[in-house]
Chain A
Amino acid sequence: MTYPEQFKYTKEHEWVSIEGDTGTIGITFHAQQELGDIVYVDLPKTGTSVDVGQSFGSVESVKAVSDIYSPLAGEVVEVNSLLSESPEKLNEDPHGAAWLVKVRLSSPVDAALMSAADYQAYIGE
């Protein structure tokens, strides 16, 4: 699997992509693979404030529920409506169409986030 070079990654298997003052958050290919068939995605409403390390939603597979932790601080400005009707898209395109939320940044991005190469080493690929 390829992990986009322009993304940054967390140890909790989220990715972020920064464009200007907005960050997009998703979960990684590895995360969806570990979860298995995803059947439900619980996301915050637009306007919700999120903080670094805070759980802002959950992804449920047939077997289990996993929290999603925000790698960014700011306000949710857009929620991916695709996932409420088609949560399985998260298995199919986790780095693309199945992004979770977009956040308007209130503080600089945490320098501790991993590069694609570091993340792949972290998950042992």
Chain B
Amino acid sequence: MSHPAVLKQTPLNAEHRTLGARMVDFGGWDMPVQYTGIIDEHNTVRTAVGMFDVSHMGEIEVKGPEALSLVNHVSTNNAAKLAVGQVHYAGLLYAHGGFVDDILVHKVAEDHYFLCVNASNQDKDYEHIASNNRWNCVVENNGDRYAQIAVQGPHALETLQKLTKTDLSAIRYYWFKDGEVSGEPARIARTGYTGEDGFEIYVAPDRAAARWSELLDAGREFGIKPIGLGARNTLRMEAGMALYGHEIDASISPLEAGLQWIVKFDKGDFLGKAPLEKQKSEGLKRKLIGFEMRGRGIGRDGYEVRVAGEPAGWVTSGGPAPTLNKNIGMCYLPIDKAQPGLSIEVMVRNQPVEAVTIPIPFYKRVK
């Protein structure tokens, strides 16, 4: 993967440096991987509240009288079922049924959909959607027009509520409201990538630094901390959420990834529908399954998985799960082996280490 010589920065880059973050090149973006430490940050989100700069994420907007037709053609979920103000998760697929990306679709108006997409995929996603635009929609690649801050954890609502008159308790999970934060426009979505309750707010880039410091102040009484990409990954892994480039990519179908719930075969035609139907009727060859290490060692992304000594699959994500105090991961295995309770071996630096398959997700918050 080649990166531009100069890393892209979010509008909060200076804030991260002031807070002493360790910065890394994340898909061409200069991003904070940790501030105080991954385990501390992870636990802060599970038990109190954390805030994340996710301004690197892309935003693509689809507008026009036939916006629904284009959105429903390129994505797997059924956007016709969305009410204005509602959000859902969907796959953006190639015609062959593999992932271009995974996205959140927000219905802003009957003729306006707002898609939140992965940072390093945004240009590819935009080209993909634009090239399938047979409905004369306006498709805009608007990543530069939004900064995004996620506030996540049991005290997320109380923290954000201090800064807005928008009634946050009235926003249900996977709904959003175009309201205000500190009197300035903000799209406030009750979504997240941590397995906790929380919000993701979209604001103008030049207002991001003000919102960031206000949130740090507002959350102080609850023990708020800034959270880096390291803990973002351990949090989403425990919650069993897919990460593009790991659980899903162009070679993987949503059915294999355990995401059949975002594929709505009854909604009419969409990109990738025929190969997915074929896969469904013929039966899957492989499937994603969780595992827990039993022996000493940690399964990591890309490690080989063996069953009864024979190569059988690979680890998509793996590492310590701080909340569960176990080493966990996800892997692809042949369909007959992708069942909980099977003994497997993860090849850790050329040594087989014992593990057992377990269901995904690994962590569910108590509501």
What is A's interface to B at a CB cutoff of 8 Å?
A: 36-37, 39-40, 42, 58, 60-63, 65, 84
Contact = CB atoms under 8 A, between A and B. Distances in A.
Nearest to B234: A62
B40 to A, nearest CB: 8
A103 B297 CA distance: 24
Ranked 3 nearest A-B pairs via Cβ: A62-B38, A37-B39, A39-B320
B296 interface: yes
Interface of B: 22, 33-34, 37-40, 230, 233-234, 296-298, 300, 319-320, 322, 327, 349
B38 A42 contact: no
A36 B229 CA distance: 13
A57 B92 CA distance: 42
Q: Is the interface of B mostly helix, strand, loop or mixed?
A: mixed
Contacts of A60: 298
Given A37-B37, A62-B38, A63-B33, A42 B319 contact: no
Contact of A39 (B22, B233, B298): B298
A79 to B, nearest CB: 14
Nearest to A84: B296
B298 A36 contact: no
Contact of A65 (B230, B233, B300): B300
A37 B325 CA distance: 14
Nearest to A63: B230
Contact of A40 (B40, B233, B298): B298
A36 B320 contact: no
Given A36-B34, A36-B38, A62-B38, 4 more contacts: A36-B37, A60-B298, A62-B322, A63-B230
23 contacts: A36-B22, A36-B34, A36-B38, A37-B39, A39-B298, A39-B320, A40-B296, A40-B320, A42-B349, A58-B349, A62-B38, A62-B39, A62-B230, A62-B322, A63-B33, A63-B34, A63-B230, A63-B233, A63-B319, A65-B298, A65-B300, A65-B349, A84-B296
Contact of A62 (B22, B296, B297, B320): B320
A40 B230 contact: no
Contact of B297 (A36, A40, A63): A40
Query: A37, A58, A61, A62: which has the most chain B beta carbons within 10 Å?
Result: A62
